[in-house]
Structure 1
């Protein structure tokens, strides 16, 4: 069953897909993302946190929960890399290695926040 975190992560992933695979000339210039790499990192930070939280809450067994945490981070990081690779075939877009690195770093930060939150709850 999907919990609120998994539903949120699916919605967030769809939003990322739409925004990142839109042809370049159709994308509005948003000043909030003037620091491009921070924007990339933030978007995948949120995705990883939601995805990890959702997978973790769906499982009761502690061993499976531990695996779910790393699987969620891996899914978010891989998604970030694949999004960048897919941009190479979109008009007026291109794959940027540093964007992929920022996406992956954001995913790791989502994992870090999840771990901090869980330690504070314990």
Structure 2
């Protein structure tokens, strides 16, 4: 029995993690791949890098929790980390490859995606019980 109430709550309701990952994946793809004109240029977009950190960190955290709960063995957090970074890199490649999106690939987006994924790894090391 795990003493972490948050982890226990999610263990009993793993469907919440699966749903959250799916929803966050769709929201991330919409925010990063819709044409830039879709979003008005307001103050929230000045926090673009913080958004990358939070979105990709949260996505990685959810994926790590989901894997830990749904698998009997130990979760290799470095694989989870690489999946998070890969998701960010794929989005940047799509932005670069699809000029009709009027989006631009940015190496700093990948840097902040990576920082978010690293922070998620730290949280996962604290939350996931040792098996």
Under TM normalisation by the shorter chain, which class is it?
Answer: 0.7 to 0.9
> Counterparts of 1:53 and 1:7 in 2: how far apart (Å)?
13
Whether the 8 Å contact between 1:41 and 1:103 is mirrored in structure 2 is yes
The aligned residue for residue 66 of structure 1 is 75
Distance 1:10 1:114 in 2: 19
Out of 30, 35, 39, which is 1:23 matched to?
Answer: 35
Alignment coverage as a number of residue pairs: 116
Q: Bigger radius of gyration, 1 or 2?
A: 2
Offset of residue 99 of structure 1: 0.7
> In the alignment, is the contact (CA less than 8 A) between 1:3 and 1:58 conserved in 2?
no
Match of 2:58 in 1: 46
The CA distance in 2 between the partners of 1:22 and 1:70, in whole Å, is 30
Tell me the CA shift for residue 71 of structure 1: 2.3
Equivalent of 1:102 in 87, 90, 112: 112
Q: Which runs of 4+ in 1 moved over 3 A?
A: none
Find the aligned partners of 1:93 and 1:66 in 2 and give their Cα distance: 35
Relative distance call for 1:32 and 1:7 in structure 2 (3 A) is: same
Distance change >3 Å, CA 30–CA 118, structure 1 → 2: farther
TM-score by length of 1: 0.82
Structure 2, gaps ≥5 residues long: 1-13
CA RMSD of aligned residues (A): 2.2
Instruction: Establish whether residue 78 from structure 1 lines up as the match of residue 86 from structure 2.
Output: yes
